[in-house]
Amino acid sequence: MIPATARAGFASWPARAEAWLDDRGRPAWIAAMVVGFIAFWPAGLAILAYMIWSKRMFSRSCSPRRTLTPRHSAWNSSGNAAFDAYKADTLRRLEEEQIAFEAFLQRLREAKDKQEFDAFMQDRARNAASPRDADA
């Protein structure tokens, strides 16, 4: 007869394996599926079916639990006052350049639109001025 502790350990290994794969993300699940197909194709098929059934294949919930901490944000202080002043000045300058560039692009689009419209109006005036050869 199998001891109760051995049965509990045997019953919990799928949950531990699932947690281990979840900690490593979707690539670990895909690697396990590929190894399953290579070793014994029904095992790979079972892993694929489980991934689809549990929505691990198509959701972002099965991603590694590595998240950026708030200190990695561009707006937070680094602790170095000189660097923070330089960073703030550079970000302000970049925002101003972005606004100026977007205004330039808008003027460029307006100039192109005006040129196309003027060409259309000239073509229309030329067609209206020329006699039509419909009756000839």
Q: Where are the chain's structural domains?
A: 9-53, 80-129
In whole angstroms, give the CA distance from residue 52 to residue 70.
Answer: 33
Nearest CA among 23, 112, 91, 101 for reference residue 61: 23
**38-74 pLDDT, tens digit each:** 988 888 888 888 888 876 666 654 444 444 444 455 6
State if pTM tops 0.85.
no
32, 45 contact by CB (below 8 A): no
In whole angstroms, give the CA distance from residue 62 to residue 57.
Answer: 8
In whole angstroms, give the CA distance from residue 52 to residue 86.
Answer: 49
pLDDT above 70: residue 18 = yes
Q: Who's near 115: CB < 8 A, 6+ residues apart?
A: none
pLDDT above 70 covers a percentage of the chain that reads 73
pLDDT above 60: residue 136 = no
* pLDDT given for residue 71 in this prediction: 47
